[in-house]
Homo-oligomer: A and B are copies of this chain.
Amino acid sequence: VTAAPADRPLTRRERTYAATAQEIKDVARQLVVESGGAALNLRAVARAMGMTPSALYRYFDSRDALLTALIVESYDSVGSVAEAAAAGLSPDTDPVEAFLTVAHAFRDWAVERPHEFGLLFGTPVPGFEPPEHTLGSELRIANVLLELLTAALDTGRVVLDVEPGSLDPRLHAAMQEVCGDKFTGLTPEAAALALVCWSALLGAIATEVFCHYPPQVGAAPRELFELTIRRQLRSMGFA
């Protein structure tokens, strides 16, 4: 779909082409925002743009290709929100506050776009397998959190509350592989805690966004979220 861009500047045609491709994604995103990923529909996109459905095939090979592009964009969207939140931190911010800032940015993003959150972190869209190159995008937000943890450990401001060697052997082995792959520089115990924290974060957001708290929580969801994250960090050994 997208041609390999050479070093030369874009021609006029290439620019309008890219603009139309972006407009397609924007219109398609609107559908997803309103009704979720399963509701994405080429004919509706074409209708909203005043185009013929077949014209979309100049830009995307299929409905699934368009959906994939949207998913990548959403991962990038939440990834850059997290990166921006982290970039705004001064290096000597308290690790708990730093982590909370990014966590709140993530939650704010999700609460504002529940369908996109569902697209990325909820039930996988039926019959749809994200291709490999989405993985880099997915990991941006995870990396932000990971770097926060690594930095806090490196400076000695956080000492994880976990006994070395206390991991179940099979889990220990799995965590060692994770450390060799992505979580470089962490001990297996630290990696395990990072994943525990990750699931707690996703769980807190998903439970709220998918309405699995009692309805009364609706009066103070942000406060419950903050409590959840604070307690999670405290249990990990953050000051």
Q: In the assembly, what is the distance between CA of A198 and CA of B213, in Å?
A: 8
Residues of B within 8 A of A204 (CB): 196, 199-200, 203
Q: What's the minimum C-beta distance from A134 to chain B, rounded to whole angstroms?
A: 12
- Size category of the binding interface on chain A: 35 or more
**Of B123, B203, B214, which is within 8 A of A201 by CB?**
B203
Q: In the assembly, what is the distance between CA of A38 and CA of B121, in Å?
A: 17
Q: In the assembly, what is the distance between CA of A201 and CA of B168, in Å?
A: 20
| Given A118-B122, A170-B223, A224-B192; A207-B216 close (CB under 8 Å) | no
Closest 5 interchain pairs by CB? A203-B203, A122-B123, A235-B235, A118-B123, A171-B223
Q: List 23 A-B contacts (CB under 8 A).
A: A36-B123, A39-B127, A115-B123, A121-B212, A122-B123, A167-B223, A170-B220, A171-B220, A171-B227, A174-B223, A178-B216, A182-B214, A193-B231, A196-B227, A198-B207, A199-B204, A199-B206, A199-B208, A202-B206, A202-B207, A202-B212, A203-B204, A231-B235
